[in-house]
Structure 1
Amino acid sequence: MSALRSTGLINAPLATAGAALRHTRTAETGLAGIGVRARALTDPAQLLVPGDELAFRVPALGVPLTIRTRIVRAEPDVFSSVLVSGPFRELRHESTLTASGGRTLVTDEVRWRTPFGSLGRIADTALVRRWILAAQDQRLAAVREVAESWAERKVVVGTAIVHKGRMLAQQRRYPARDAGRWELPGGRVEPGESEQDAVVRECAEELDVEVTPTGRIGTDVPLDNGMLLRIHAARLVDPEAAPRAVEHHEVRWIDAGELVELDWLDADKVLVHSLRDLLRRR
């Protein structure tokens, strides 16, 4: 199997760069500079999640070829896909992210196998490698542009409160367009306030309980209002405390299996796979 690896530095936090890698804008425009037309086969308002597929129309020797890939991982530090169909026997792509101060080092690796034996190996040298290197450069530039613009946004926090293997969800009462849908408790980070302090304050206001933040979950999520959503895990300070719906219609403890059954707000829905992993680990 042939392989190429490239690296690049992005002036944005790891979870923000991870979100830019998942964003459909990056997928659909990141390779336009080398003539590739891409289409995300998912809701364009969403970040890509495991199971989503992408279709790439690639110019090759004057004959357009179509490559279709499927997302298999979409975590803050790993984003990867595999071949579904196209002119390769095998094609795997993986980006790994490493925090470097307030910046992120992205290592991009593509591994492939052509169907043409020795002729394929010649093509690797003459054509495929050149095209893949160009694709890596173009994609990294697109991710950098998106991530660095998002890094300047104000932050909204969400809270995944986990207790006895279950997580707390709350059902919206308003506005009308969102009434009946589910979300995690949280809200805006106020000026001079840390994200962890915002988590504690919002849970006290919305649920009348005290919590202790225990770490970040998933990538950032860009919101339509120009802000970034960041999810924090938390635990109850008093294990016997009973959260109540102060501002919402209902609160409910759910397990990993129930996560996919609820009608989540779009911003929370794209992190369901990360929340499921959190519950399974606990």
Structure 2
Amino acid sequence: MTTVGAALRHTRTAEEGLRELGIQGRALTPTAELLVPGDDLAFRLRNAGLARLRTRIVRADAERLESVLIAGPLQELRHESVLAEAGDHTLLTDSLRWTTPFGPLGRVVDVALGRRVVLAVLAGRMRAVGALAEQWAGRPVVVGTAITREGRLLVQQRRYPARDAGRWELPGGRVEAGESERDAVIRECKEELDVDVVPTGRVGTDVPLHNGMLLRVHTAEPADPGCEPRAVEHRAVHWARATELSALDWLEADRVLVHSLRELLS
């Protein structure tokens, strides 16, 4: 489900799902390919002369993606995509709600044209999500670990390579052949922090990496609450409060999960 959640958040999904109907869409994001709360999406119909629509992401996690209209002719438009496990598959439910402008005439146009276009857009978007998730499904996995204690998150500062020195990330590493993700979490934390941890769950969606792998973040707690992690391979470690997370200079792959990590602590 977390792979589908990543595909749902990818900027390519929004753009490709609309292109089939001649609707130009683009994500107004600064650097990341995955949408985060606060990112905007802009849309307009090609050669139609209609006012542009602009929506803002208000939620983006492993269970749900939500956006609201912040500019355009429609009123109270809200888009929700909800994910749920259905056996070995993931069920994606899309819904779009809005208030029709221009009174009775607007309602006639809404029924005759608007709803048909919306259904076609959502169907195209679902196809794009499915294709992207299937493309990523066979990628090797890198685990990250969100270790929490007393409302704080353990983060570590990179020592190398030079381009990343001084930046912050979650502990973790590649899942080895024949190794479960849970075992990889335990091993990596022991190697990088010299602590034993107990994995407790998951947080956020997967994150596709430029090296052809998937980052998947697990949650964990120290097996011994009194044991202090140490920087074995990194420059420093730090127990960060939720209010500190946005200010840290994160590696790009971890930064798109900061909002989920903040919710985890809260």
- Where on the TM-score scale, by shorter chain, does this alignment land: which range? over 0.9
1:187-266 equivalences in 2 (<5 Å): 187-266=173-252
- Residue 25 of structure 1 and its aligned partner are, at CA, apart by 1.2
Matched, 1:135 2:121: yes
CA deviation digits over 1:111-157, x for unaligned, max 9? 01121111111011111011101101111011111111111111000
Q: Which amino acid aligns with 2:37?
A: P
- The Cα of 1:75 is off from its aligned counterpart by 1.2
Given the alignment, which residue of 61, 73, 85 partners 1:75? Answer: 61
Deviation at 1:101, TM superposition (A): 2.2
Cross-structure match for 1:49: 36
Q: Quote the offset at 1:261 in angstroms.
A: 1.3
2:163 corresponds to which residue?
177
Q: Please state how far the C-alpha of 1:65 moved relative to its aligned partner.
A: 3.4
How much has 1:31 moved relative to structure 2? 0.9
State the alpha-carbon separation in 2 of the partners of residues 260 and 80 from structure 1. 21
In structure 1, distance between residues paired with 2:244 and 2:109: 49
Which consecutive aligned stretches of 4+ in structure 1 deviate over 4 angstroms post-superposition?
none
For residue 47 of structure 1, give the secondary structure of its aligned residue in structure 2: coil
- Whole-angstrom distance in 2 between the partners of 1:58 and 1:111: 19
Secondary structure at the aligned position of 1:156 is classed as: strand
* Conserved? CA contact 1:91–1:110, under 8 Å: yes
Deviates more, 1:129-138 or 1:22-31: 22-31
Distance 1:90 1:238 in 2: 50
What's the secondary structure of 1:173's corresponding residue? coil
Matched, 1:87 2:73: yes
| Separation in structure 2 between the aligned mates of residue 226 and residue 30 of structure 1, nearest angstrom | 23
The amino acid of 2:7's aligned partner reads A
Give the number of equivalent residue pairs. Answer: 266
CA distance in 1, matches of 2:140, 2:30: 24
- One of 3, 14, 20 as aligned partner of 1:33: 20
Confirm whether residue 112 of structure 1 aligns to residue 98 of structure 2: yes
Deviation at 1:159, TM superposition (A): 0.3
Task: Tell me the equivalent position of 1:157.
Answer: 143
Q: Aligned to 1:99, what secondary structure does the other structure show?
A: strand
Q: What SS does structure 2 have at the residue aligned with 1:202? A: helix
> What is the root-mean-square deviation of aligned Cα atoms in Å?
1.1
Q: Which residue of 2 aligns with 1:3?
A: none
**Distance in 1 separating the partners of 2:10 and 2:101:** 31
- Quote the offset at 1:168 in angstroms: 0.5
Alpha-carbon distance in structure 2 between the residues aligned to 1:102 and 1:58: 38
Report if the CA contact (8 A) 2:157-2:168 is conserved: yes
Asked whether the 8 Å contact 2:193–2:230 carries over to 1, the reply is yes
1:73-126: CA deviation from partner (whole Å, max 9, x where unpaired):
101111010001112022110010111123111000010112111111101111
Instruction: Identify the range of structure 1 (89-98 vs 44-53) with the bigger mean alpha-carbon deviation.
Output: 44-53
Contact 1:58–1:67 (Cα < 8 Å) also in 2 = no
What displacement does 1:57 show? Answer: 1.3
Percent identity over the alignment is: 64
Report the TM-score, using the length of structure 2 for normalisation.
Answer: 0.98
Match of 1:10 in 2: none
Secondary structure of residue in 2 paired with 1:177:
helix
